[in-house]
Structure 1
Amino acid sequence: METRAFSTSVMNVTSLCDDVGPFDGYALTSLDDLPGISMLDFPCEDPFPLLNSSHVLPNNTRPPPIRKLCAKQGCVKFARCQGMCTQHGGRRYCGIHGCPRVAQFAGKCTTHGGTKPCNVPGCLKSMQSRGKCKAHGGGVRCQAPDCAKGSISNGFCRGHGGGLRCVVTGCTKWAQRERMCVRHHHDYSTADNWAVQMMQM
């Protein structure tokens, strides 16, 4: 029997798949599933790698990457850096000499510029998510219907109940310093009974 070229065999397999019927998204794992095809039709070790189960999973998904565990004996956490988890020293530290902070991006911490910039032209703010800063749509959004503002706390922006209010009774301003607004923080910090009044809150 004359051996056909691999490219021709691939075309034949593709045409035969239409005759066999739908496979519900599953990859073919054996040539027995294709009538009229033999191993002689494929002059290579892996006759059809694109249909091999080691390459394609159901619904055309890829197998999840195999993550290594921490090299510390008895630790079952995943390794992050140099074979160790974060608890056992698997961290990348800031490349600036003397800085003890953890590197976030480009080998630097956030204080020394280790952040990805917003993708919006001209914006110098740090990217939060989806390639944008919080002002341009990045980060967590407010859960209120039709609200595009960023979430402050509890899934809502300040206008819809997110954030903390001043703890002084009757004050509806936003807390900015030690659970108080700027005005009340200044008043209480200069009072002699500061500690007593804070304990009564």
Structure 2
Amino acid sequence: MDYAKPSITPMATTCKLSKHDSKLFDNPTLFRFVVGALQYATITRPNLAYNVNKVCQFMSQPLEQHWVAFKRILRYLQGTTTFGIHLKPAAVPNLPIRLTTLCDADWAIDPDDRKFISGACLYNGPNIITWWSKKQQTISRSNTEAEYRSLALAFQELVWVESLFSELKVPHQVPLILSDNLSIVAMAHNPVLHNRTKHIELDLFFVRDKI
């Protein structure tokens, strides 16, 4: 891969990895070794979290298409070796820190189990300090449900960072959490429970309590 052509993106937007769409990879031990090592790259590269999470889901039985997707990530890394996390000073140093969280979920892109993948990133002022991408444990029957589960996970992470700041006596403002789904914003502020949302009632109460 030293002389491979660099890629401008870590994964094609049309790429849908599955467990059944190609032949078995002839060296699964090598796949597990190199993909496991690739997880360390996500420590300083938040833009790789989703893609590395995708290829890591096929550790038990890797296929040739998974190996091709992995090499695409390596080609992207080769062309972006100068990329990293840039830490910036706060705009107004004397004001309390502002915590901002962004969360989202995909639209059942996994063809094998149709489980949604949630993702979030948390900013301390202008600097990103924590991020994750993970598959949800249950199957959501609507985009609103999946987005709300992602919101609950993001709140959980935000609460932990808040408690850490409080323990360290670091002053901070009321956190801001952002989502691109108007339905879950309405559900989070509406105190009325509906019959169609009883199956996510715990997430509903958790988010409303934190708001």
Q: TM-score, normalization: structure 1?
A: 0.21
Q: TM-score, normalization: structure 2?
A: 0.20
> Of Structure 1 and Structure 2, which has the larger fraction of its residues in strand?
2
